[in-house]
Amino acid sequence: MSAQPRQIHLNAFLMHVGHHEAAWRHPATNPENDSVDHYVGLAQLAERGKLDSIFLADGLALWNNVRYNFSGRFEPLTLLSALAMATSRIGLIATVSTTYNEPFHVARKFASVDHLSRGRAGWNIVTSSQEGEARNFSQEKHLDHHSRYQRAAEFLDVTRALWDSWQDDALVYDRNSGVYAETDLIRPVNHTGQHFSVAGPLNVPRSPQGHPLLVQAGSSEDGREFAARYAEAVFTAQQTLADGQAFYADVKNRAGHHGRSPEEIKILPGIAPILGGTEAEAKRREAELNDLIVPEYGLSQLSKMVGIDLFDHPLDGPLPADLPTVDDINGNKSRFSLVIELARRERLTIRQLLTRLAAGRGHRVFTGTPEQVADQLELWFTSGAADGFNVMPPYLPGALTDFVDQVVPILQQRGLFRTEYEGRTLREHYGLARPSARPVAGTAVRAGVPR
């Protein structure tokens, strides 16, 4: 019997009424519907398509120019808890920042969602990139880029130790002896480091997956190094196949330097699919959305990405020559590089660049028939650029419905995507092992407790 061919992994990145910045103005969407029912519908739709997971982004300040767009009202872990009750198989990934949280809180919340969902929780680990976020946490300035990743590394060391502070079989419920938990199997973590001092153990028993799936989405030098060390899935924006291949090879290679095998880390570039029955129809749909763009919105987003105010520059001219360099950027370094390279490679005016970024903010937009989109996914998957994709529907629910009903069946016919869920947990969907609870050195919790 031949082994099952390598399978594509698919995550649905859900954002209110879609990733296109003008989707809320399009008649196919209903922005007034920002209720839990809207998200339940989207999660169930993705589950009907047998997708590996859904994913919710998050920022800790008003991120964008809310006069022209606002992308949803819920804190992601709260919303995922509700979605856990409305779904049974699909993985549930939420963004949580390591810069403005404490490891104990985060370890506890993810262990709880993992219990609630019976093993379907995933954490998109971000370091936060906006100056405004600092000002909501009693700080005037954002920590610098490198220090944010250093803090993130220590944060992960602590959260992983907390999840491992309970062995799997610590709860014994021995009614005869009156012993509820075997305290030899629950250990403190006693961490003292540069950023955190945490005694532990966690106050939640070990969860179904042991650790939630660890996802990461920064692609700068520091971001890649962090991903290679900790991440099990990586979201990334890549414009060209060649860039996608280089990123894929680089992260897998770096993972090897940390003693990990390439299969232990799944690379998922973002794609914003705009589908039509014919290529012309898909292009018409894309044009309809782009015609609704408000340039002021795109300009404020682009100004943040490139690190200077672009409002005084002519829309029909190129980006100014005197832009900052990547070293000057303290926010999202990889997106800065991607946008500048895209504009220069294709000699785009600012107006053209705004249109190119409107649907996917720098993620690749695939516009075409379901076959053409499936061909592109297969090409990226088979030529060393992707283990799967972070699907970013430009308008919701329509573009996700089209993807599930039209692209997924083609991938299934080609033997590239599951027709049924085989596993129960998110780790199983991604083909990743459940980490064993490393026995923690140190004294069991009962020491010092009067008996």
Ligand X SMILES: Cc1cc2nc3c(=O)[nH]c(=O)nc-3n(C[C@H](O)[C@H](O)[C@H](O)COP(=O)(O)O)c2cc1C
Known binding-site residue numbers: 58, 95, 145, 149, 219-220
Q: If binding means CB under 6 A, how many residues of this protein chain bind ligand X?
A: 23
CA 65/CA 73 separation, integer angstroms: 15
332 contacts ligand X (rule: CB under 6 A): yes
99 contacts ligand X (rule: CB under 6 A): no
57 contacts ligand X (rule: CB under 6 A): yes
Q: Residue 105 is inside which H or E element, if any?
A: helix 103-116
Q: At 398, list the tokens.
A: 């329509």
CA 57/CA 70 separation, integer angstroms: 13
Which of these ranges, 52-60, 255-263, 404-412, 414-422, lies near ligand X under the rule CB under 6 A? 52-60
Which of residues 270 and 370 has its CB atom nearest to ligand X in the complex?
Answer: 270
333 contacts ligand X (rule: CB under 6 A): yes
CA 415/CA 12 separation, integer angstroms: 20
98 contacts ligand X (rule: CB under 6 A): no
Cα dist from 123 to 74, 87, 144, 268, 366, whole Å:
16, 18, 23, 15, 27
Question: Quick count: other Cβ atoms within 10 Å of Cβ 344?
Answer: 11
95 contacts ligand X (rule: CB under 6 A): yes
Interface with ligand X in residues 370-409 (CB under 6 A): 390
CA 294/CA 204 separation, integer angstroms: 47
CA 445/CA 200 separation, integer angstroms: 9
- Closest approach, Cβ 190 to ligand X, in A, equals 30
Interface with ligand X in residues 218-257 (CB under 6 A): 218-220, 222-223, 235-237
Q: Spell out, one character per residue from 270 to 299, where the chain touches ligand X: x when CB under 6 A holds, - when not.
A: x-----------------------------
Q: Which of 339, 341, 352 shows the shortest CA–CA distance to 307?
A: 339
Surface-to-core class of residue 82, CB atoms within 10 Å of its CB (0-12 exposed, 13-18 middle, 19+ buried): middle
Which of these ranges, 14-22, 120-128, 348-356, 441-449, lies near ligand X under the rule CB under 6 A? 120-128
Which of these ranges, 121-129, 313-321, 369-377, 400-408, lies near ligand X under the rule CB under 6 A? 121-129
Among 31, 34, 44, 59, binds ligand X (CB under 6 A): 59
The site for ligand X (CB under 6 A) is made up of 57-59, 95, 126-129, 217-220, 222-223, 235-237, 270, 332-335, 390
